Chain A
Amino acid sequence: EAQVTQNPRYLITVTGKKLTVTCSQNMNHEYMSWYRQDPGLGLRQIYYSMNVEVTDKGDVPEGYKVSRKEKRNFPLILESPSPNQTSLYFCASSFGQGAYEQYFGPGTRLTVT
């Protein structure tokens, strides 16, 4: 089944403890992206990647890192999480180097205390 998977689905952590949220897609998509969803703010793009080893900042990249070493994987790294990073995170992918039809993962709910 063609899909985008994220792990973990739920995570509670403490301030400053490094964490990684994994994202994987099996559709051979070139474009992948991370978003955070907050009440009243909708979805905001954190980082995106147009292909392996090609990444760029979205609108809210502060406090996050990404890497794209393989086409199928696009992990989101929080080196030193803070409470304002408590949010619902979505990974997405699309065919081609553009933000066209994006296929979304199920979401990861992160709580930083």
Chain B
Amino acid sequence: AQRVTQPEKLLSVFKGAPVELKCNYSYSGSPELFWYVQYSRQRLQLLLRHISRESIKGFTADLNKGETSFHLKKPFAQEEDSAMYYCALSGHGGGATNKLIFGTGTLLAVQP
């Protein structure tokens, strides 16, 4: 079964510290992985996806098929990074691409 696990409900770090938001997935085929972010009083929006291999706002995420992980990383946290982060998975090919499975989310709190 498709599943996305975000083990941490809350991650609190100090400004300038490295950040790693964990995401593990379960999927039998080739998944598409995404990170979505929801800032306070804003809409949920796409942060990045693994196929684009780009860095957005200093965040990167590498798909590790061996460990079935897609952890989100940033070397130096900023206060404006404080938000709710969701990891999400979609299948690849055919009807599997039409569903998007979200994890339960991790609230990142960056302390000054």
Interface residues in chain A, defined as those with a beta carbon under 8 Å from any beta carbon in chain B? 31, 33, 35, 40-45, 48, 50, 56, 58-59, 90, 92, 97-107
- Total B residues in contact with A, Cβ cutoff 8 Å: 22
Q: Report which of A41, A59, A90, A102 forms a contact with B104, defined as CB distance below 8 A.
A: A41
Whether B105 contacts A42 by the Cβ 8 Å rule is yes
With A33-B100, A56-B98 known, 17 other A-B pairs at CB within 8 A are A31-B98, A40-B9, A40-B104, A41-B104, A42-B86, A42-B105, A43-B86, A45-B99, A45-B101, A50-B98, A58-B99, A90-B44, A98-B98, A99-B98, A102-B36, A102-B100, A105-B43
Ordered by A's residue number, 15 sampled pairs between the chains whose C-beta atoms are within 8 Å are A42-B6, A45-B101, A48-B98, A48-B99, A58-B99, A99-B32, A99-B97, A99-B98, A99-B99, A100-B32, A102-B36, A102-B100, A103-B45, A104-B43, A106-B43
Taking A98-B97, A101-B49, A105-B43 as contacts, is the C-beta distance between A43 and B90 under 8 angstroms? no
Q: Report which of B9, B45, B46, B102 forms a contact with A43, defined as CB distance below 8 A.
A: B102
Cα-based distance from A92 to B49 in the complex (angstroms): 17
B11 CB, min distance to chain A CBs, angstroms:
15
A22 CB, min distance to chain B CBs, angstroms:
17
Whether A101 contacts B46 by the Cβ 8 Å rule is yes
